[in-house]
Every structure is written in C-alpha cells, then in structure tokens.
C-alpha cells in the first residue's frame, strides 16, 4: 500500500550574502567572488560573480528536486583572480539532519576552512573475522582477517601493526576488492586465555582497525585522500565474525582551521521538505475536501483557503495547492473564487492585488508552471540579441564610462525597449489558455467591484503579466532559463533599465514619470509618452483576458526548450571510427533534439522528436561514468553524460515530456550499454534484442497531468500537520465569533473568517483527516523501524540522520509503553 516514492524537494534560496571576507593580497584588496551549491561535493548550482567586494550580495533563488541521497548540503565561496583562476575561500556544510533547524530562516554561518582531509564522501563495506591458530612453536596466534569494498585503493592497519595496501582499481567509483589481510599478535603457550582476544579485556576498547581510502595519482603531488574509518575491535565481543557498511569520515589530524570569523560569514535561507507518499486511497478524504474548495460559500471557509490562513508564508501553501488543482483540472475555478473574494475586500482600486496574498502567490505559481514555454518563445530571441549585441545603454550620467555618449546610449536603450515591448504586445495569441481564463476572471471581478474606474479591468491583469511575469524574466533571464549563464555586469545593467521601463509601460499609470525615483529614468521615459504605447498595452491585455477568444493552435515556429553543453558517446553511425566521448552543445526544441560542436554552429546530428522511443538513465557501470542517460532511437541509442545529477534529471524529464505522445514508445529497455558483443545487463548477444527492464512511467505530455497528485496532497497534509496549533487557534476564533460578535482577541484577528459556522465545520473535517493520515504515518514508521538494519548499505554506520531517527523511535516507543 506504500507508494515507492520518497519525494524530496530542496530549495536552497541562495539569497545569500557574504560579509567580512579576507582581503585579497594585492593592491586593491577586493575580490571577485561567486558561490556554489553542492550536494556533498557535487556542484548543482553557481551564482553570478560579484566583482570588487568583500561583502558580496547574490540574491538568487535556486530550487531543485534532489534525485539521490546525500549527507551534506554545502555552499562554497570562490574567488576568481585576474587570470580567471578560481580558489576556495571557505565553505558552509549543513548536515541533512540539521536542515529542519534552518528551514525558511535567514541564518548567518561562519565560513569554514577547506582542505583535502575534510572533503570526504562515499561508503565502505568491511568484514572482520577473528580466528585462533597454534604455530609450530606452540605459540597461540590470533589472526584478524579484514576485507572490504571501497574506493580506488585502500590502506588498512591495526594499532601497532604494519599497514597493508590493496591493489589499485582503475577508472571506477565503485570498486570491489575482495582482498583479505591478516594481522597477527602472538602469546607464549603459558598465556592464560581470558577471552578470544590476545589482549586483556580492559585494553580491547583501545584497539581499532583503521582504513584509509586514496585516489591513486601518477603526479608528483601524491595520492588524493578520500576518507577514512576507524572500527574498534570490541565489535567482535559477541561474535568472531562482523561485517557492516560505514560512511567515510574526515581525518582528525588534517590541516588546522583558521579562527572562526577569519574567513567571513555567509547568510543563507534554506527551505527543505521531505515527503513520504502513500498510495491514492489513503488521501481520498482530504483530497475530496480540497477539491470542493472552489464551490464552498464563502470560499474563505474552504479547506484550501484555510491552509493559506494557517501558513505564515503564503508561498508555502500556494505551491502545493496550485500543483494539486492543476493536476485535477480545477485551478481556474479555485483561483477565480479566491480572487473574487479578495477583490470584494479591496477598498481602493489602486491597491488591487498589490499584497502578497494567497491569490497573488497562486497566480504567480500558475504562470511559472503553465507559462514557461510562452515566456521562452516570446522573450528568448530578443534577450539573446541584447546579450550578443552588448551595446552600451547606461543613461545615468554619474555611471557613464569614458568615451560613452549619453544620447547614443539612450538611443540604444530605446531600441531595445521597443524590441521587447513589441514582442510582448504581439504575443497574445500564444498566451496559454489556463492563464487567459484566470486573467478573464480577474478582469470581470475587478470591473464588477469598481464600476466607476474604467482602467481597473486592465491594471488587475497587468499587475500580473507585466509586473510578476515579464519584468522579472527580463531582469534575471538566467533564473528563467532564458540564458544558459549569468549575464555580464554591463548586460545586467541594460536588462535592469529595460525591465523598469517595460514594467511602467505595462502599469498604465496616469503619472508615469512620477513612477521613477531617478530623474534620468523619468527623462528617458519621455520617449514613450505617445498614446500608441498605451493602446498597444490595452489591446494586448484585452486579448489575453478574453476567455474563448481563439482556437488553440500549435505554434508553427520551433520553441527552444533547453540547451547546454554535455558529453556524448559516438553513436556508431559510421561503419569505421572510434566510439569516443566528446563535448557537444545540445539543443532541444519541440521539433527536434540536436547537437553541434559549439553554440551557433550547424548541427552535427538531428533527432526528430517522433524518433525518440524512450529516455532512461544508464547504469554507471556501463562506462564507469556518473550522471549518464540514453536517448533511444529506432536504430541505436545515444549515450549522454550531464554535468551533475540535477542537470541529468532535468534533461531526462523534459526529453521524456516532449516525446511522451510518440506512438512507438518502448515498453522495455536495456539499462546498460551494448559493449563487446553483448548487453551488459542481460548478456543478450544481439544488439537488436528487446529490452530486459520496464521503462519508467515518465511524464505525461499534458501540463495538467505533469504532477503527482498524491505527492501534492501529502505536502498539503504535512503543512496542516505542522500548523496544527494554528488550526486549533482558528477553531477557537470561529467559536468566539459565533457567540460574541464584538471586539476579538488580537491573536484571532489575523484570520479571515467570513462565516464562522461553515469555517468551523471545515476545520473539524481537516483536523480529522490530518489525524487519520498521521496514524498511518506513525504505523509505517514503526514497521520501517523494525525492518531496518543499522550498518546496511542503505543506512551505513555513521548515518547521523538514521541515528537521530532511531533515537526518536526509541523515545516514541518508551512513551507509548
């Protein structure tokens, strides 16, 4: 009954800011720094470079699904010198089990020193056996046998004995040694044996086996330390044979760290959620209650609206609610209902949808999910033109560089603004239907509420499509995948000026020059005071907020979905030639998947989308390479290595999505490669042999189905469960209002309660549904606790998160008894 899915979402909101970094040992003392986000030691995100600062502010959001287990979420601060060489200043490493402590909180962390002895990851399987033999001289000899599975080569030693070394296993991250080492300690025949140890019992705890892991190197700098583990011999007290998996640990005697504060500090806001998802039947009561939300009168008494009330951050509630309602095709009725209710509570038309309400956050999230392709097809060509043109556009007289002309810069900027404004206002026919239907409901609700204000029907829509959709994408194109990398400082400044102007053009405010704090922006805006700009905005807003205005048609021009460098293996299209690995620029549109030597060149290979039969991961043992996947075609498979695990998942997901509707999609595939005349997975000799493993389910082609509804329901349950005290407080507020219709306690005034009796009824159902699910989770945790073995490959010794879990379960069991 348990769905085999451990859904992990992590969003390190790298609104990070560093301070008091050590000065650069040069004349200007400033540094050019950037920050990376790492799962253990694997980099999954990199911020822009902030130049000439010892207190850089990044302000970037990074969100990803975590596709594998991890021990630390790490943040490294790097400095780039004039020769474009990167050096590490320091790091912050947060253990997985500590992430809840910092959930959604701004926290300053001291940067820690980084050295070769502290950077470890991986695990080792070790087997110990103790046997007694009698030598030819009559001496009693105890032999300790040790064998293990570890990384490239292993040094093993017993305290007081000579170290032993395994053979080097080349080009692998998962070697298997199966080597046995013996450590001997002898005693004379007259020795009185107290135990099966050669030493006294009280000395046993002092003895340990130490295993060091090294990456063998042919360079003069020597081997690279990968980690160590120390196993006390008292593990053999109960039995003469012992085996277990261990996490590698850093070396205690590594380089000495600098004093705290010497390397500076890093401020982070990390949001981490982990959900364990049951099968659909478990969620039926809560799911049905949520799906009725749009029909409840008033909507403030619905389960979905209640979630927004009890969550202190509206975004926290909006994300799972929007995904849930999108999955079940009810997002438009729900948003229409809560938007109409918010409009009715608004007194001034100039403040409509200006706050961070549940309505605003839900519409933002819907646009992010449903409008990404629309954003790409509209803005990407123009943004690329600006990045490649690199024309000077600074119009602040104070910031002009030597040799720049203010009038020329204004003309350059005006042309760019005109280009962006034109593509936006002509893109109405491409706006996704779900967004148009929501805008239609916003327009109708605003016009009905403020009948004397003829502009409110436009500003209600423009506050979202311009202010919250197009303007942020222009300002930070990298965060919306409009550019593969961060833009340089000059281009970033140009995009900032364009974003400000477009935002003001779209607002249709009556006093536009007054919208700018800077006098130079007000002067520049005089270029756009013509009526044609206001007319173009209104025509565009009319088009995208007219429900049922057009027939849905596929866009004829190709839409660029994703691009970037990856490494591919030759496909064997030529009869002769080496099947080697090469770095190529990959490009995916809704028509084809291509690669070329570098960006902008002619494609070396083009795969039509209809020829993609499956997209699956490739087992690491095939080529001894991580993060590989395969794009399976009728004649062959294309093997590709992504830069990291997050990037690999992103490519697999989007390739699967665009090819999901192909009629000839495979039901089975080979998880390993075809090498040396056979498939490594099933040993079949024919390269055309049918697959041996069922294909993964993949992603449905329709965005409304591109979501796991059960997982979103589980997330909503988790939010209700974590805010149970506020649910109970809201119940008290309903009771207070029902019996005493007067001034209420201050703690109750934060809740929107239009109908106390109906809201109380909903709260009672929510609390009952959450309680039933909590009982199921508790039973699952008890069952898992009984079955799980500490020291297994899944939970190696040294797994602090599992140790914490064992402690919690022990406390729970004791409390229950």
Reported as a single tens digit per residue, the pLDDT across 602-652 is 999 999 989 999 999 999 888 989 999 999 999 889 999 999 998 998 899
Please check the confidence at residue 572 and state whether its pLDDT lies above 90.
no
Q: Is residue 263 within 8 Å of 113, Cβ to Cβ?
A: yes
Please check the confidence at residue 261 and state whether its pLDDT lies above 50.
yes
Q: Is residue 478 within 8 Å of 14, Cβ to Cβ?
A: no
Going through 298-351 in order, the beta strands assigned E by DSSP cover none
Q: What is the pLDDT of residue 392?
A: 93
Burial of 685 from C-beta contacts in 10 A (0-12 / 13-18 / 19+): exposed
Pairing of strands 678-679, 674-675: antiparallel
Q: How far apart are CA 570 and CA 555, in angstroms?
A: 33
Burial of 326 from C-beta contacts in 10 A (0-12 / 13-18 / 19+): buried
Reported as a single tens digit per residue, the pLDDT across 339-374 is 999 999 988 888 888 788 999 999 999 999 889 889
Q: How far apart are CA 28 and CA 82, in angstroms?
A: 12
Q: Average of pLDDT values for 760-766? A: 95
The CA-atom distances, in angstroms, between 771 and each of 306, 768, 776 are 16, 5, 9
The residues with which 95 forms a beta bridge, in sequence order, are 72
Residue 654's CB is within 10 A of a number of other CB atoms, namely 15
Residue 477: half-sphere exposure toward Cβ, Cα within 13 Å: 28
The residues with which 45 forms a beta bridge, in sequence order, are 37
Q: How far apart are CA 146 and CA 511, in angstroms?
A: 81
Q: Is residue 415 within 8 Å of 432, Cβ to Cβ?
A: no
Q: Average of pLDDT values for 545-560? A: 51
Q: Is residue 248 within 8 Å of 213, Cβ to Cβ?
A: yes
Q: What is the pLDDT of residue 187?
A: 52
Range in 8-12, 104-108, 304-308, 791-795 the model is least confident about: 8-12
Burial of 79 from C-beta contacts in 10 A (0-12 / 13-18 / 19+): middle
* Position 552 confidence tier, pLDDT thresholds 50, 70, 90: very low
Q: Average of pLDDT values for 573-597? A: 80
Q: Average of pLDDT values for 224-235? A: 83
| 157-184 per-residue burial string, b: 16 or more CB within 10 A, e: under 16 | bbeeeeebebeebeeeeebebeeebebe
Q: What is the pLDDT of residue 148?
A: 52
Please check the confidence at residue 253 and state whether its pLDDT lies above 60.
no
Q: What is the pLDDT of residue 796?
A: 86
Q: What is the pLDDT of residue 177?
A: 81
Please check the confidence at residue 133 and state whether its pLDDT lies above 90.
no
Please check the confidence at residue 53 and state whether its pLDDT lies above 60.
yes
Q: Average of pLDDT values for 279-283? A: 92
Q: Quick one: residue 758, left, alpha or beta (phi over 0 = left, psi -120 to 50 = alpha)?
A: alpha
620 Cβ contact list (under 8 Å, min separation 6): 173, 174, 626, 628
Q: How far apart are CA 487 and CA 92, in angstroms?
A: 26
Q: Alpha-carbon dihedral of residues 437, 443, 446, 447, nearest 10 degrees? A: -130
In angstroms and rounded to an integer, the radius of gyration of the C-alpha atoms of the chain is 31
Q: What is the DSSP string of 670-682?
A: -SS-EETTEETTT
* Position 741 confidence tier, pLDDT thresholds 50, 70, 90: low
* Position 41 confidence tier, pLDDT thresholds 50, 70, 90: confident
Q: How far apart are CA 619 and CA 628, in angstroms?
A: 7
The CA-atom distances, in angstroms, between 370 and each of 324, 632, 753 are 13, 28, 31
CA-closest candidate to residue 460, choices 371, 377, 544: 544
Q: What is the pLDDT of residue 204?
A: 53
The CA-atom distances, in angstroms, between 149 and each of 127, 213, 635 are 9, 11, 38
Q: What is the largest CA-CA distance in the chain?
A: 110
* Position 185 confidence tier, pLDDT thresholds 50, 70, 90: low
259 Cβ contact list (under 8 Å, min separation 6): none
Q: Is residue 618 within 8 Å of 672, Cβ to Cβ?
A: yes
Burial of 765 from C-beta contacts in 10 A (0-12 / 13-18 / 19+): middle
Q: What is the DSSP string of 375-411?
A: HHHHHHHHHHHHHHH-------GGGPPTT--HHHHHH
CA-closest candidate to residue 47, choices 32, 29, 66, 30: 32
* Position 553 confidence tier, pLDDT thresholds 50, 70, 90: very low
Please check the confidence at residue 420 and state whether its pLDDT lies above 60.
yes
Range in 31-45, 250-264, 516-530, 596-610 the model is least confident about: 250-264
Range in 53-62, 781-790, 807-816 the model is least confident about: 807-816
Q: Average of pLDDT values for 298-321? A: 94
Percent of the residues in the chain that have a pLDDT greater than 70, as a whole number = 82
Q: Is residue 466 within 8 Å of 507, Cβ to Cβ?
A: yes
Q: Average of pLDDT values for 1-30? A: 62
Q: How far apart are CA 678 and CA 277, in angstroms?
A: 38
Of 167 and 571, more confident = 167
Residue 604: half-sphere exposure toward Cβ, Cα within 13 Å: 15
Q: What is the pLDDT of residue 1?
A: 34
* Position 146 confidence tier, pLDDT thresholds 50, 70, 90: low
Q: How far apart are CA 21 and CA 26, in angstroms?
A: 14
* Position 151 confidence tier, pLDDT thresholds 50, 70, 90: very low
Reported as a single tens digit per residue, the pLDDT across 778-796 is 998 888 888 878 888 878 8
Please check the confidence at residue 406 and state whether its pLDDT lies above 60.
yes
Reported as a single tens digit per residue, the pLDDT across 713-737 is 999 999 999 999 999 999 988 888 7
Q: What is the pLDDT of residue 118?
A: 75
CA-closest candidate to residue 670, choices 632, 701, 624: 632
Q: What is the pLDDT of residue 230?
A: 86
Going through 444-572 in order, the beta strands assigned E by DSSP cover 560-569
Q: What is the pLDDT of residue 469?
A: 95
Q: What is the pLDDT of residue 235?
A: 81
Percent of the residues in the chain that have a pLDDT greater than 90, as a whole number = 37
Q: Average of pLDDT values for 194-199? A: 49
The residues with which 265 forms a beta bridge, in sequence order, are 19, 110
Q: Average of pLDDT values for 659-677? A: 87
Residue 686 three-state SS: coil
The residues with which 805 forms a beta bridge, in sequence order, are none
Please check the confidence at residue 742 and state whether its pLDDT lies above 70.
no
CA-closest candidate to residue 272, choices 109, 65, 91, 108: 65
Reported as a single tens digit per residue, the pLDDT across 673-710 is 988 889 999 999 998 899 999 988 543 333 434 578 89
Number of H helices, E strands in the chain: 19, 27
Helix (H) or strand (E) holding 815: helix 800-816
Q: What is the pLDDT of residue 303?
A: 96
| Residue 451, both tokens | 């009948």
Q: Is residue 623 within 8 Å of 535, Cβ to Cβ?
A: no
Q: Average of pLDDT values for 445-473? A: 91
Q: What is the pLDDT of residue 814?
A: 37
Q: How far apart are CA 671 and CA 637, in angstroms?
A: 11
Average pLDDT, the chain: 82
CA-closest candidate to residue 17, choices 49, 53, 57, 77: 57
């Amino acid at each position: 009954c348990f769905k085999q899915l451990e859904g992990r979402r992590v969003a390190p909101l790298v609104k990070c800011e560093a301070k008091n970094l050590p000065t650069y040992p040069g004349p200007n003392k400033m540094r050019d720094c950037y920050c990376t986000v790492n799962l253990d030691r694997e980099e999954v995100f990199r911020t822009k470079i902030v130049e000439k600062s010892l207190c850089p502010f990044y302000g970037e959001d990074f969100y990803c699904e975590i596709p594998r287990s991890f021990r630390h979420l790490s943040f490294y601060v790097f400095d780039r010198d004039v020769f474009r060489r990167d050096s590490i200043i320091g790091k912050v490493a947060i253990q997985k089990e500590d992430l809840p402590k910092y959930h959604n909180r701004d926290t300053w962390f001291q940067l820690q020193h980084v050295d070769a002895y502290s950077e470890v990851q991986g695990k080792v399987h070790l087997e110990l056996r103790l046997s007694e033999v009698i030598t030819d001289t009559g001496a009693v000899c105890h032999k300790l046998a040790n064998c293990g599975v570890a990384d490239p080569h292993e040094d093993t030693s017993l305290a007081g004995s000579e170290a032993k070394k395994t053979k080097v296993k080349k080009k692998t991250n998962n070697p298997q040694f199966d080597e046995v080492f013996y450590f001997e300690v002898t005693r004379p025949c007259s020795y009185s044996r107290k135990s099966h140890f050669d030493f006294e019992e009280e000395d046993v705890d002092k003895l340990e086996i130490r295993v060091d892991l090294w990456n063998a190197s042919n360079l003069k700098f020597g081997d690279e330390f990968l980690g160590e583990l120390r196993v006390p011999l008292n593990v053999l007290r109960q039995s003469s044979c012992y085996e277990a998996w261990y996490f590698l640990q850093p070396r205690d005697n590594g380089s000495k760290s600098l004093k705290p504060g010497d390397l500076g500090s890093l401020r982070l806001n990390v949001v981490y959620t982990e959900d364990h998802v049951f099968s659909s039947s478990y969620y039926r009561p809560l799911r049905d209650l949520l799906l009725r939300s749009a029909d409840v009168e008033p909507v403030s008494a619905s389960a979905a609206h209640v979630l927004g009330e009890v969550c202190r951050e509206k975004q926290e509630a909006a994300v799972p609610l929007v995904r849930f309602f999108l999955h079940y095709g009810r997002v438009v009725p729900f948003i229409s209902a809560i938007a109409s209710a918010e409009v009715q509570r608004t007194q001034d038309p100039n403040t409509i949808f200006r706050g961070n309400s549940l309505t605003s956050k839900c519409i933002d999230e819907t646009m992010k999910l449903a409008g990404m392709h629309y954003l790409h097809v509209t803005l990407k060509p123009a943004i690329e033109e600006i990045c490649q043109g690199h024309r000077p556009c600074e119009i602040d007289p104070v910031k002009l560089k030597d040799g720049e002309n203010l009038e020329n810069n204004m003309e350059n900027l005006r042309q760019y603004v005109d280009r962006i404004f034109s593509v936006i206002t002509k893109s109405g026919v491409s706006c996704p239907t779900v967004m148009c239907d929501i805008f239609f409901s916003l327009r109708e609700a605003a016009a009905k509420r403020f009948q004397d204000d003829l502009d409110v029907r436009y500003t209600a829509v423009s506050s979202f499509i311009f202010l919250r959709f197009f303007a942020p994408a222009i300002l930070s194109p990298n965060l919306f995948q409009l550019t593969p990398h961060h833009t340089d400082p000059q281009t970033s400044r140009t995009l900032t000026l364009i974003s400000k102007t477009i935002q003001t053009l779209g607002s249709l405010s009556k006093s536009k020059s007054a919208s700018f704090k800077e006098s130079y922006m007000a002067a520049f805006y005089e270029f756009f005071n013509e009526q044609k700009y206001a007319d173009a905005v209104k025509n565009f807003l009319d088009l995208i907020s007219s429900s049922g205005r057009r027939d849905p048609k596929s866009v004829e021009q190709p839409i660029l979905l994703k691009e970037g460098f990856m490494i591919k293996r030759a496909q064997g299209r030529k009869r002769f030639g080496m099947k080697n690995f090469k770095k190529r620029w990959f490009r995916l549109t809704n028509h084809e998947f291509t690669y070329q030597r570098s960006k902008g060149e002619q494609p070396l290979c083009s795969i039509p989308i209809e020829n993609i039969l499956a997209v699956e991961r490739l087992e690491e043992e095939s080529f001894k390479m991580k993060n590989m996947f395969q794009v399976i075609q009728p004649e062959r498979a294309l093997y590709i290595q992504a830069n990291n695990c997050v990037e690999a998942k992103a490519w697999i997901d989007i390739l699967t999505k665009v090819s999901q509707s192909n009629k000839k999609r495979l039901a089975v595939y080979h998880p390993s490669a075809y090498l040396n005349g056979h498939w490594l997975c099933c040993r079949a000799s024919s390269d055309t042999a049918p697959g041996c493993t069922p294909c993964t389910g993949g992603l449905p082609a329709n965005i409304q189905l591109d979501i796991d509804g059960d997982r979103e329901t589980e997330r909503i349950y988790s939010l209700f469960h974590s805010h149970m005290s506020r649910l109970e407080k809201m119940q008290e507020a309903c009771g207070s209002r029902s019996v005493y219709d007067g001034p209420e306690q201050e703690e109750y005034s934060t809740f929107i309660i239009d109908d106390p009796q109906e809201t109380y009824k909903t709260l009672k159902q929510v609390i009952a549904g959450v309680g039933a699910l909590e009982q199921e989770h508790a039973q699952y945790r008890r069952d898992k606790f009984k079955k799980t073995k500490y020291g297994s490959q899944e939970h190696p010794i040294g797994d602090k998160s599992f140790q914490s879990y064992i402690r919690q379960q022990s406390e729970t069991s004791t409390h229950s008894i």
